[in-house]
Amino acid sequence: MSGHSKWSTIKHKKAKVDSQRAVVFQKYSRELIVSARLGGPDPAGNFRLRTAIEKAKAAGLPNDNIKRAIEKGAGAGAADNYEELIYEGYAPGGVAVVVEAMTDNRNRTAGDIRSFFTKFNGSLGATGCVGWMFDQRGVIRFDETVDFEKLFEEAIGLDALDIVEEDGEYKVLTTVENFQNVVEGLEKAGFKSVTAEFTRIPQNTIEVTDENTAGQILKLLERLEEHDDVQNVYANFDISDEILQKLEG
């Protein structure tokens, strides 16, 4: 299992614990606002909005909140002028980090992100410094109750890149361009996904064997994740289960 997958698992566990926190709801609301603003308020004709609604509902965001966010994005309310930004840098040990953010104040966000990197012995770099180390992919997750052989057959028929079993679920990987086609094709074939979203998968990982360095990396990533403006964080570390268990303890 790659370090990236371990971090994803840690994030998913954390998301379940924090699912009622206002900061988590705000992240989903921002995605709804931007999706509605860019593609219109009708999910039937706005694939990004439809996937955002599904993710928000799965996280427990109330329907009234979803409706208000869509109305804001569509111009029915006082919409915040969010812009999407990407920050790139290095965590301790030379680990590459990519941060996706939505903000209405890029100066505030950049200052905060830079301070986090500095506090935990990392460094914020220029745009493009590490992004090339990650492949952008669509990932569609299914629980293990689905028929894997049928899922595999359908996904390959839709030109999916790969289907893997990981973390107690099946993951269908796609290119960014073919993501919508695969999601909708699998839905038509009767497969209901748990989530469908874009991700960044590291081409290579860096093994981190020092416990102190590993702790600083995880603290940096956690701090970034907790920031109101941060939507997603990706890193290319590989930390052993033994060290992770010590740190969690």
Q: What does the pLDDT look like over 145-188, one tens digit per residue? A: 999 999 999 999 999 999 999 888 999 999 999 999 999 999 99
CB 244 within 8 A of CB 213: no
Residue with tokens 């909005």: 49
In angstroms, rounded to a whole number, what is the distance separating the alpha carbons of residues 3 and 238? 4
Q: What does the longest C-alpha to C-alpha distance in the chain come to?
A: 52
Residue 190 structure tokens:
């009767």
Q: Tell which CATH architecture fits domain 3-74.
A: Orthogonal Bundle (1.10)
CB 186 within 8 A of CB 158: yes
Q: How high is the pLDDT of residue 15?
A: 53
Residue 240 structure tokens:
């052993």
At residue 183, φ and ψ (nearest 5 deg) are -55, -50
Beta bridge partners of 238: 207
Q: How high is the pLDDT of residue 109?
A: 96
Assigned CATH topology for domain 83-132+204-248: Alpha-Beta Plaits (3.30.70)
Q: Give the chain's count of helices (H) and strands (E).
A: 9, 10
Q: How high is the pLDDT of residue 19?
A: 47
Q: Where, residue-wise, is CATH 3.30.70.980 in the chain?
A: 83-132+204-248, 133-202
Q: How high is the pLDDT of residue 2?
A: 39
Task: Express each pLDDT in 24-61 by its tens digit.
Answer: 788 899 999 999 988 999 999 999 999 999 989 888 88
Residues 133-202: name the CATH superfamily. Answer: YebC, transcriptional regulation domain (3.30.70.980)
| More confident position, 219 or 20 | 219
In angstroms, rounded to a whole number, what is the distance separating the alpha carbons of residues 66 and 57? 8
Query: How many CB atoms neighbour CB 242 within 10 A?
Result: 9
Task: Express each pLDDT in 54-93 by its tens digit.
Answer: 989 888 889 999 999 999 888 865 556 889 999 999 999 9
pLDDT surpassing 60 at residue 8: no
Beta bridge partners of 135: 201
